[in-house]
Amino acid sequence: MDKRQFLAAAAALAATPALAQTPKLGTDELGRTLASLKPKLVPRRKAKTAKLFLTPPCWPNAITADPQGRGFWVQQQRHDRGPEIAWLLDRKGKVLHSVVTKCEDCSGMAVGNGFVWSGANGASVHNPPDPPVEGVFQTDMNGKTVSHRQIPFGPKNNGGSCHGLAWENAEGGRLWIQSNRLEALVRMNPATWECDYMFPAAHVDRLHGIEVDGGFIWQVYGTQDPKVPGYDGYTPGLIKYDIKSGEPVLFVDFVPGSCDMHDVCVLDGQLYGVDAGEHPGWPVDEKYARPSFPELNSPSGGYVFKIDLI
């Protein structure tokens, strides 16, 4: 072999793929199979609920644990564009403090760094303005509006609606938002209003309130039987996400007869929920009526309740 032939042979060898071995039957070049590409099955569990107490008369559409351990914060939802109140309740439902906010159609709240944070779903009111009142309201404990900011990555005056807020005690405090427009859970620096992390929400029906629980996030969801309208055909549930991966690690389905759920919180390691009693698309039923409450379409409307996995 002369020098020219040697160089030609070396060039041909260099051009040969590094993984020239014959792949195993049913695998691609990276060793993947159809089975390996299938989504992993997420474990499922059941849960039951127990009613604790009624909130002040309203549609209570948001709940969060008090950072000082005194009990729960709940916030009302209104469709008439009136001011919406957030109440601090003790563990038996006694009102300890109230904060009037300018949020419209509140759909999620958090308490952190000394403020009430309220998520607006302002298109779901009577005669909404254009654009509707969306975004997140920051209110101090005396009812002063400190800021009103839009969910990011959208128009400056309308970042879309919210269906849940949660506070994370990390890096000076972080605010999580369930963004309906982005179909994602978005983590915000509340001081700079910069997004530092986000992940897609699960592709399930009726995503709603959220809560941080250590390295995880709980989120409300539910499934409606299309043949059975209203409460009787609905199965409330929860999703548990791993924050680091953004992947669901658990689905929880409530047993029949459980409370309907609009938001979730964790207090002393125990899960709790609240039912606004105003479930979209459900018929109002007089048998669910309560004194001074607006019209209700759920038997657990207005209740704070405990959630136990079984």
Residue 40 has a pLDDT of 82
Enter the pTM of the model: 0.90
- Measured between alpha carbons, how far is residue 227 from residues 104, 223, 272 in Å? 33, 12, 29
218-223 average pLDDT score: 98
Main-chain dihedrals φ then ψ at residue 78, nearest 5 degrees: -130, 155
Q: What is the pLDDT of residues 127-142, one digit of tens each?
A: 999 999 999 999 999 9
- Which among 308, 248, 272, 310 is positioned nearest to 60, based on CA atoms? 272
Q: What is the pLDDT of residues 183-203, one digit of tens each?
A: 999 999 999 999 999 999 999
Residue 27 has a pLDDT of 82
29-58 average pLDDT score: 89
Q: Across the chain, what does the average pLDDT equal? A: 93
- Residue 1: pLDDT over 80: no
Single-letter residue type at 185: L
